[in-house]
């Protein structure tokens, strides 16, 4: 049973990680929190739902479509809610993104309706039993997709020129600019990538759970923030590890403690982390952004 | 005299104003708290339990509730001293959530079922007086030594320490006062709706004073007041838009921040208004 | 002899007059105004939206047929955003400024509870179409609910469930963060299950916003009960059912009206086949009145089927119409207080009103009473179970 719980936790954690990577990328490059990131995730789920319904089950297409759509949405949000505020007080984007989040929620509610929806049951599901474990094809797909995406992001950041430009900007935008990096372009790229990952997470959540509705972004957003913190602000591998940690902890917490206190434990852990190890689990020190 | 609906809206505005000012105190010392909902919850539940279950008269209940929130504020303020910026935001968020979960499970005050039985206390005159008192407190603080200490810390904490500001005391004080005021707002709220449940005081509630202050203007306490007023009244004015109301509200917030990132009220505006008022011309000469 | 025809006329007139019964007080005024506070936006949007559409349908029909006592009906609908404070200020506005005779709604138990003390001061009644938390109508003599509380929804459902599936042991999974679900999980279900001789193996909880239930289901798997009882709303129930089937559990499910939304049947499809739900209305009821309503609702809503909140708000408008017409309401401004009290009195007397949700009666606690509708999921639809 413990093994099954771990598998459950890893799957959940992979989704959290995808969302947290987006948060941490944006924080790394801009030093700001994107409080509408959860709504980007939510819209990704809806785009995926529409595509899957229209194409009678083409999940890969849904993923691609959702990632492109949310990537573009992210770029739009950057233009509208972040760019005009460069140089302003660092709290201002918190307010603009809250406004954007509300507007996106309400638009989704108007267009799709407030009812909860699930991906159609036309998606084939096979169950495999590996000893005491029960794993579904959907779960495997989700884990695989998440790992592929995370791997792609790591490669991108570590091995490509654009990725280096992103890392340079994250360390110090001024110096990066002086050294010839087109900081604006980097920011746009980061928003695209971060939002596309959130969109992908949305499709995966839609696949795994019957839970697509205009307000799923709120809770996911908060979880993403917690994971970002666990992994260290601005730390991409940290976000991946943090996601897995939170997913496993949540599942184990529910299994062995009362779920009613679970959130309190999680946030208590957050407070402790902040006091004792603010640089996150992986301990990579990053320039402090106040 | 005033229509009953307007009266309700004004009472809610008054409570929001007090809540906004509760954030202003720590913010003026550079500490952004997204956990005011937690202090509000403590104030609400303590005051309600005292009036409903124990039967104390409301003035004493309110005072005790605000004090209780203040004590917790000081307790949270201590670890908060060690973190700054985004980290403090996240820590206060975590605190707010912990309080919510606590009351969600605390059966003597109803847990998830909520708590009722409080008398109706929060009339418009009462709220107006308390809101005014809080605003005056904010104004006096801004001009006081403590207020200048806050401002110094806000600008540059290290420099403030160097010039002799007792940073620890100031930060702790600003945090505690913010908690006390939020607790008062909670007590008022509870005795207005006469039924409270933990969900009322979650993250959304903590975000409210933050949006009031940021949209209204973070530079002066007037920003908190104006922000609370505008953002409380806006959804009511927009009621004719029916189901587009909330969407427009979000867009409006966005628009204001883009056009005026420092918020509606800033130092320049306050200064300009002061100069325009008769009797203040002398100050300009200084 | 000369006056015989006169006598005939007089006799005929008297007979006709007598046969017609006591004439109700004439409803006057330009329009009969009712208020409605629904949660049309915010997290409760689907309940408020369905209530609003159903109310509009009722108003259109009534006005086409001549109105209330011949006077056009106007229902002023306001949106609470699923928040408690707007519920209070909107109720006051409707009562004191718009001078409505009665208020339909609110849907949510927390909004309802917050309004109760206000009603005693303002002396106008509210009637909720969805609130299911037991006991809160007792808070004010002006607080009514035309819906069944959880215990009444679940009582027949538990029996049906127990008999149909020979359930001798059960696990309970409930939402400990939601007032109604927590009451079901903590109090209502354990009591009812015990009464039916079902052993409760364990009670597991979750929080409203959860989407992952793998931990809870894994635990239930280890317990191996005969059935799984839920204190939940359909959004989470759909995921719980799906997770259970994914992990290989075949137990039948039991739940209350918040799960009995047409959306649930759509979401769970085969996985939820055979689930037993104690509800307060069956949207697919072939009864002519209900079928006609369903057709209009689907047209107006863009193809959606109504949840029981929508269905009940339709009935509530009609019941209020009946109460006004037979209760001596004059709808004159000077009689406002008296009229509001007459409507209240009328509602306390509602018995066996034949609406689209079945026969409605209001019991002495001002809650809906009457036969609960037990539903089951069959082929992705909600189907009524006779008992």
pLDDT tens, position by position, C34-68: 999 999 888 888 899 999 999 999 999 999 999 99
Share above pLDDT 70 across residues of chain C, in percent, rounded to a whole number:
94
Give A57→chain B minimum CA distance, Å.
Answer: 32
DSSP label at A274? H
Give C140→chain A minimum CA distance, Å.
Answer: 32
CB contact under 8 A, A95 and B210: yes
Instruction: Give yes or no for residue A212 having a pLDDT over 70.
Output: yes
Give A25→chain C minimum CA distance, Å.
Answer: 25
SS3 A133: strand
- b/e map B165-179, b = 16+ CB within 10 Å: bebeebbbbbbbbbb
Identify the pLDDT of residue C387.
87
Identify the pLDDT of residue C259.
93
The chain B residue lying nearest A223, using CA atoms, is: B94
Instruction: Give yes or no for residue B124 having a pLDDT over 80.
Output: yes
Q: What angle do CA C199, C200, C204 make, to 5 degrees?
A: 165
Q: CB contacts < 8 Å between A and B, how many? A: 126
- Dihedral angle of Cα C102, C51, C80, C139, to the nearest 10 degrees: 50
Q: Which chain C residues are within 8 Å of B192, Cβ to Cβ? A: 85, 88
The set of residues, in sequence order, having a beta carbon less than 8 Å from that of C12 and lying 6+ positions away, is: none
Q: How many CB atoms lie within 10 A of CB C114?
A: 27
Alpha carbon of residue A255 to chain centroid: 25
DSSP label at A117? B
Least confident of A25-34, A119-128, A162-171, B99-108: A119-128
Q: What is the pLDDT of residues B248-265, one digit of tens each?
A: 888 988 998 888 888 899
Instruction: Give yes or no for residue C23 having a pLDDT over 70.
Output: no
Q: Which chain A residues are within 8 Å of C262, Cβ to Cβ? A: none
- Minimum-distance CB partner of B246 among C41, C118, C139: C41
Identify the pLDDT of residue B55.
92
Q: CB contacts < 8 Å between A and C, how many? A: 98
- B271, B220 contact by CB (below 8 A): no
Q: What ipTM did this prediction achieve?
A: 0.85
**Chosen from C218, C259, C270 to mutate, greatest number of chain A CBs within 10 A:** C218
Query: In whole angstroms, what is the distance from residue B148 CA to residue B240 CA?
Result: 44
Least confident of A104-108, A230-234, A279-283, B163-167: A279-283
Least confident of A22-26, A139-143, B194-198, B280-284: B280-284
Q: Which chain C residues are within 8 Å of B193, Cβ to Cβ? A: 84-85, 88, 114
Q: pLDDT band at B280, cuts 50/70/90?
A: low
Identify the pLDDT of residue C11.
52
Instruction: Give yes or no for residue C20 having a pLDDT over 60.
Output: no
Domain ranges of chain A: 22-217
Q: Which chain B residues are within 8 Å of C99, Cβ to Cβ? A: none
- B17, B228 contact by CB (below 8 A): yes
Q: What angle do CA C21, C22, C23 make, to 5 degrees?
A: 105
**Chosen from C44, C82, C88, C108 to mutate, greatest number of chain B CBs within 10 A:** C88
Least confident of A72-81, A113-122, B79-88: A113-122
Q: Which chain C residues are within 8 Å of A142, Cβ to Cβ? A: none
Identify the pLDDT of residue A4.
81
Residue with tokens 């207020």: B147
CB contact under 8 A, C85 and B192: yes
Q: What are phi and psi of C199, to 5 degrees?
A: -85, 130
Q: pLDDT band at B139, cuts 50/70/90?
A: very high
Least confident of A86-100, A115-129, A130-144, B129-143: A115-129
The set of residues, in sequence order, having a beta carbon less than 8 Å from that of A55 and lying 6+ positions away, is: A61, A62
CB contact under 8 A, A92 and B261: yes
**Chosen from A254, A256, A264 to mutate, greatest number of chain C CBs within 10 A:** A254
Q: Which chain A residues are within 8 Å of C248, Cβ to Cβ? A: 127, 134
- Minimum-distance CB partner of A270 among B94, B210, B262: B94
Q: Which chain A residues are within 8 Å of B203, Cβ to Cβ? A: 222
Q: Which chain A residues are within 8 Å of C205, Cβ to Cβ? A: 258-260
Q: pLDDT band at B286, cuts 50/70/90?
A: very low
Instruction: Give yes or no for residue C304 having a pLDDT over 70.
Output: yes
CB contact under 8 A, C85 and B246: no
Q: What is the pLDDT of residues C217-256, one digit of tens each?
A: 988 998 999 999 999 999 999 999 988 998 889 999 999 9
CB contact under 8 A, A255 and C270: no
Mean confidence (pLDDT) of chain B: 90
Q: Which chain A residues are within 8 Å of C268, Cβ to Cβ? A: 210
Query: In whole angstroms, what is the distance from residue C84 CA to residue C108 CA?
Result: 9
Mean pLDDT to the nearest integer, A158-175: 87
Whether residue A276 lies within 8 A of chain B, CB to CB, comes out as: no
Neighbouring chains to A with at least 3 Cβ pairs closer than 8 Å: B, C
CB contact under 8 A, C204 and A259: yes
The set of residues, in sequence order, having a beta carbon less than 8 Å from that of C375 and lying 6+ positions away, is: C260, C276, C277, C278, C279, C282, C382, C383, C384, C385
Q: pLDDT band at A86, cuts 50/70/90?
A: confident
CB contact under 8 A, B98 and A267: yes
CB contact under 8 A, B210 and A85: no
Mean pLDDT to the nearest integer, A202-216: 88
Instruction: Give yes or no for residue C21 having a pLDDT over 50.
Output: no
Instruction: Give yes or no for residue C13 having a pLDDT over 90.
Output: no
Bridge-partner residues for C231, per DSSP? Answer: C174
DSSP label at C379? T
Identify the pLDDT of residue A17.
93
Instruction: Give yes or no for residue C384 having a pLDDT over 60.
Output: yes
CB contact under 8 A, B86 and A85: no
CB contact under 8 A, A118 and C267: yes
Give C6→chain B minimum CA distance, Å.
Answer: 59
Whether residue A133 lies within 8 A of chain C, CB to CB, comes out as: no
Query: In whole angstroms, what is the distance from residue C219 CA to residue C213 CA?
Result: 10
CB contact under 8 A, C79 and B243: yes
Identify the pLDDT of residue A288.
46
Q: pLDDT band at A200, cuts 50/70/90?
A: very high
Tokens of B218: 């973070």
**Chosen from A34, A79, A85, A92 to mutate, greatest number of chain B CBs within 10 A:** A92
Whether residue A80 lies within 8 A of chain B, CB to CB, comes out as: yes
Instruction: Give yes or no for residue A99 having a pLDDT over 50.
Output: yes
Q: How many CB atoms lie within 10 A of CB C292?
A: 13
Mean confidence (pLDDT) of chain C: 90
Mean pLDDT to the nearest integer, C58-87: 93
Q: What is the pLDDT of residues A113-165, one digit of tens each?
A: 888 888 876 666 777 777 777 788 888 888 889 889 989 998 998 899 889 89
Mean pLDDT to the nearest integer, A18-45: 92
Instruction: Give yes or no for residue C78 having a pLDDT over 80.
Output: yes
Hey, which residues 175-234 in chain A have their CB within 8 Å of chain B? 222, 225, 229, 233
The strand ranges marked E within B130-220 are 195-196
Whether residue A76 lies within 8 A of chain B, CB to CB, comes out as: no
Q: pLDDT band at C18, cuts 50/70/90?
A: very low
Q: What are phi and psi of A18, to 5 degrees?
A: -60, -40
CB contact under 8 A, B116 and C179: no
CB contact under 8 A, A95 and B98: no
Instruction: Give yes or no for residue C22 having a pLDDT over 60.
Output: no
Instruction: Give yes or no for residue C2 having a pLDDT over 70.
Output: no
CB contact under 8 A, B87 and A260: no
- Minimum-distance CB partner of B4 among C84, C96, C139: C96
Most confident of A165-179, A195-209, A223-237, B171-185: B171-185
Identify the pLDDT of residue A31.
83
Give C69→chain B minimum CA distance, Å.
Answer: 30
Q: What is the pLDDT of residues C248-279, one digit of tens each?
A: 899 999 999 999 889 899 888 889 999 999 99
Mean pLDDT to the nearest integer, C320-338: 92
Picking from C176, C157, C264, C172, the residue whose alpha carbon sits closest to that of residue C226 is C172
CB contact under 8 A, B192 and C183: no
Mean pLDDT to the nearest integer, C309-314: 94
The set of residues, in sequence order, having a beta carbon less than 8 Å from that of C1 and lying 6+ positions away, is: none
Q: How many CA atoms lie within 13 A of C177 on its CB side?
A: 20
* H helix or E strand, kind and range, residue C206: strand C199-206
- C134, C256 contact by CB (below 8 A): no
Mean pLDDT to the nearest integer, A49-62: 89
Whether residue A282 lies within 8 A of chain C, CB to CB, comes out as: no
Q: Which chain A residues are within 8 Å of C219, Cβ to Cβ? A: 1, 255
- C351, C370 contact by CB (below 8 A): no
Hey, which residues 200-219 in chain C have their CB within 8 Å of chain A? 204-207, 209-212, 214-216, 218-219
Query: In whole angstroms, what is the distance from residue A87 CA to residue A94 CA?
Result: 14
Whether residue C224 lies within 8 A of chain A, CB to CB, comes out as: no
Sign, Cα dihedral of B147, B148, B152, B155: positive
Hey, which residues 42-71 in chain A have their CB within 8 Å of chain C? none
- Minimum-distance CB partner of B253 among A33, A98, A233: A98
CB contact under 8 A, B250 and A80: no
Q: How many CB atoms lie within 10 A of CB A172?
A: 12
CB contact under 8 A, B85 and A88: no
* H helix or E strand, kind and range, residue C36: strand C32-38
Identify the pLDDT of residue B130.
96
Q: What are phi and psi of C309, to 5 degrees?
A: -65, -45
Mean pLDDT to the nearest integer, C283-311: 93
Identify the pLDDT of residue C19.
43
- Dihedral angle of Cα C72, C76, C77, C81, to the nearest 10 degrees: 180
The pTM assigned to this predicted structure is: 0.89
Question: Phi-psi category of C207—alpha, beta or left, where left has phi over 0 and alpha has psi -120 to 50?
Answer: beta
């Amino acid at each position: 049973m413990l093994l099954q719980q771990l598998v459950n936790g890893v799957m959940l954690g992979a989704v959290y990680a995808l969302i947290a990577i987006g948060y941490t990328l944006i924080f790394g490059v801009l030093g700001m929190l994107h409080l509408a990131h959860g709504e980007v995730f939510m819209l990704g789920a809806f785009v995926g739902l529409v595509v899957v319904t229209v194409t009678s089950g083409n999940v890969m297409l849904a993923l691609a479509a959702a990632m492109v759509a949310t990537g573009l949405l992210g770029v739009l949000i950057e233009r509208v809610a972040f760019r005009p505020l460069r140089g302003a007080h660092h709290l201002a984007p918190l307010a603009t993104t809250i406004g954007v989040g509300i507007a996106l929620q309400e638009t989704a509610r108007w267009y799709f309706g407030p009812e909860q929806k699930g991906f159609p049951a036309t998606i084939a599901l096979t169950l495999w039993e590996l000893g005491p474990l029960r794993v579904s094809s959907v779960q495997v797909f989700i884990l695989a997709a998440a790992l592929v995406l995370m791997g792609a992001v790591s490669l991108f950041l570590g091995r490509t020129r654009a990725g280096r430009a992103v890392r340079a900007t994250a360390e110090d935008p001024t110096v990066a600019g002086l050294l010839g990096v087109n900081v604006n372009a980097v920011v746009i790229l980061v928003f695209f990538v971060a939002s596309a990952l959130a969109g992908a997470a949305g499709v995966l959540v839609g696949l795994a759970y019957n839970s697509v509705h205009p307000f799923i972004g709120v809770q996911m957003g908060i979880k993403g923030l917690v994971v970002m913190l666990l992994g260290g602000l601005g730390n991409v591998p940290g976000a991946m590890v943090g996601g897995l940690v939170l997913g496993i902890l949540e599942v184990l917490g529910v299994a062995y403690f009362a779920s009613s206190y679970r959130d309190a434990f999680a946030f208590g852990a957050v407070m402790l982390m902040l006091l004792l190890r603010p640089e996150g689990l992986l301990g990579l020190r990053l320039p402090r952004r106040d | 005299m005033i229509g009953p609906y307007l009266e309700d809206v004004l009472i809610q505005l008054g409570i929001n104003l007090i809540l906004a000012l509760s954030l202003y105190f720590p913010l003026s010392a550079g500490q952004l708290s997204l956990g005011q909902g937690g202090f509000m919850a403590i104030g609400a539940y303590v005051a309600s339990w005292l009036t409903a279950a124990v039967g104390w008269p409301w003035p004493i209940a309110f005072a005790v509730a605000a004090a209780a929130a203040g004590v917790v504020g000081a307790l949270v303020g201590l670890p908060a001293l060690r973190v700054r910026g985004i980290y403090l935001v996240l820590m206060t968020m975590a605190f707010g959530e912990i309080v919510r979960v606590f009351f969600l499970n605390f059966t003597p005050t109803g847990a998830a079922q909520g708590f009722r039985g409080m008398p109706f206390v929060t009339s418009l005159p009462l709220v107006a007086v308390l809101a005014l008192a809080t605003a005056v407190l904010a104004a006096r603080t801004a001009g006081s030594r403590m207020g200048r200490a806050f401002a110094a810390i806000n600008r540059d904490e290290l420099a403030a320490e160097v010039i002799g500001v007792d940073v620890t005391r100031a930060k702790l004080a600003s945090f505690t006062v913010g908690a006390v005021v939020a607790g008062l707002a909670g007590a008022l709220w509870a005795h207005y709706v006469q039924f409270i449940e933990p969900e009322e005081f979650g993250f959304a509630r903590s975000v409210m004073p933050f949006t009031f202050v940021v949209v209204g203007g973070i530079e002066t306490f007037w920003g908190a007041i104006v922000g609370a007023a505008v953002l409380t009244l806006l959804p009511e004015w927009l009621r004719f838009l029916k189901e587009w109301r909330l969407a427009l509200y979000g867009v409006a917030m966005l628009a204001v921040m883009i056009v005026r990132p420092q918020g509606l009220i800033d130092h320049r505006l306050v200064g300009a208004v002061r100069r325009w008022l008769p009797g203040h011309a002398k100050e300009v000469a200084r | 002899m000369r006056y015989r025809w006169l006598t005939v006329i007089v006799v005929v007139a008297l007979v006709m007059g007598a046969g017609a019964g006591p004439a109700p007080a004439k409803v006057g005024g330009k329009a009969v105004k009712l208020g409605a506070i629904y949660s049309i936006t915010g997290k409760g949007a689907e309940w408020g939206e369905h209530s609003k559409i159903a109310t509009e349908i009722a108003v259109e029909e009534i006005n086409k047929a001549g109105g209330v006592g011949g006077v056009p009906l106007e229902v002023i609908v306001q949106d609470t955003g699923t928040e408690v404070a707007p519920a209070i200020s909107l109720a006051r506005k409707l009562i004191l400024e718009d001078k409505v005779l009665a208020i339909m709604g609110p849907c949510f138990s927390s909004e309802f509870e917050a309004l109760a003390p206000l009603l005693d001061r303002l002396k106008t009644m509210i009637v909720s179409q969805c609130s299911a938390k037991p006991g809160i109508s007792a808070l004010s003599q002006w607080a009514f609910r035309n819906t069944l509380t959880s215990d009444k929804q679940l009582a027949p459902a538990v029996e049906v469930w127990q008999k149909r599936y020979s359930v001798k042991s059960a696990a309970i999974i409930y939402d400990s963060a939601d007032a109604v679900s927590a009451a079901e999980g903590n109090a209502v279900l354990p009591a009812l299950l015990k009464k039916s001789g079902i052993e409760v193996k364990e009670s597991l909880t979750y929080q409203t916003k959860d989407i992952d239930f793998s931990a809870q289901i894994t635990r239930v798997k280890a317990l191996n009960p005969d059935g799984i009882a839920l204190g939940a709303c359909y959004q989470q129930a759909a995921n719980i059912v799906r997770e259970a089937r994914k992990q290989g559990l075949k137990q039948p499910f039991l739940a209350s009206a918040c799960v009995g939304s047409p959306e649930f049947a759509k979401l769970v499809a085969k996985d939820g086949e055979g689930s037993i739900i104690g509800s307060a209305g069956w949207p697919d009821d072939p009864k002519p009145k209900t079928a006609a309503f369903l057709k209009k609702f689907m047209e107006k809503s863009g193809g959606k089927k109504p949840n029981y909140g929508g269905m009940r708000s339709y009935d509530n408008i009609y019941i209020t119409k009946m109460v006004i017409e037979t209760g001596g309401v004059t709808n004159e401004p000077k009689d406002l207080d008296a009229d509001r009290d007459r409507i209240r009195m009328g509602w306390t007397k509602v018995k066996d009103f034949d609406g689209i949700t079945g026969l409605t009666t209001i019991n002495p606690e001002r809650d809906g009473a009457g036969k609960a509708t037990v539903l089951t999921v069959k082929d992705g639809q909600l189907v009524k179970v006779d008992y």
